Amino acid sequence: MKQTVLGNIKSQPEVLQRVFAERATFVDPFVREIKEHQIRKVIFFGSGTSYNVSQIAAYYFKHLVHLPAEAQYPTVFKYYEQPDWTGSIDPGQILFVGISQSGTSVSTCEVMEYGKQLGCRTLVITGDLESRITEFADVVTHLLVGPELTPPETKGYTVSVLSVYLWALATAHELNALSAGEYDELIAEAESFVADFQRVLDEAEDWYERNKTSILQSDRLFVLGYGIDYGSMLEAMLKVGEMLRIPTIGFEIEEFSHGPTMGLRPNQTIFMIGSDEAEFDRMLVFRGAYKRYTPRVHVVSMRDLPDADGRDLVFSHRVSKYLAPLAYTVPFQFVAAQGAKDIYIDTSVNPFQESLAHYADEG
* Structure confidence by residue, pLDDT tens digits, 243-296: 999 999 999 999 999 999 999 999 999 999 999 999 999 999 999 999 999 999
**Fold (CATH) for 5-195:** Rossmann fold (3.40.50)
Distance (Å, whole) CA 252 – CA 255? 5
Tell me the residue type at 204: A
Tell me whether strands 268-274 and 248-252 are parallel, antiparallel or unpaired.
unpaired
Whole-prediction pTM:
0.95
Domains of the chain, by residue range, sit at: 5-195, 198-342
Positive or negative: CA dihedral 195, 140, 229, 68: positive
pLDDT at 127: 95
Higher pLDDT, 352 or 307: 307
Whether residue 100 is predicted with pLDDT greater than 60 in this model: the reply is yes
Predicted confidence (pLDDT) per residue in 54-63, tens digit:
999 999 999 9
Q: List the CATH code of the domain at 198-342.
A: 3.40.50.10490
pLDDT at 363: 41
**Band (349; pLDDT cuts 50, 70, 90):** confident
pLDDT at 147: 86
CB 334 within 8 A of CB 300: no
The overall average pLDDT reported for the chain is 95
Give mean pLDDT, residues 304-320: 96
Percent of the chain with pLDDT over 70: 96
Interatomic CA distance for residues 168 and 190, integer angstroms = 13
The count of residues in the chain is 363
Distance between CA atoms of residues 266 and 271, nearest Å: 14
| Residue 229's pLDDT band (cuts 50, 70, 90) | very high
Contacts of 177 (CB under 8 A, 6+ apart): 64, 65, 66, 67, 171
Q: Does this chain's domain 5-195 share its CATH topology with 198-342?
A: yes
pLDDT at 353: 58
| Contact indicator for 201, 10 with CB cutoff of 8 Å | yes
What confidence tier does 2 reach under pLDDT thresholds 50, 70, 90? confident
Angle subtended at Cα 144 by Cα 136 and Cα 207, rounded to the nearest 5 degrees: 125
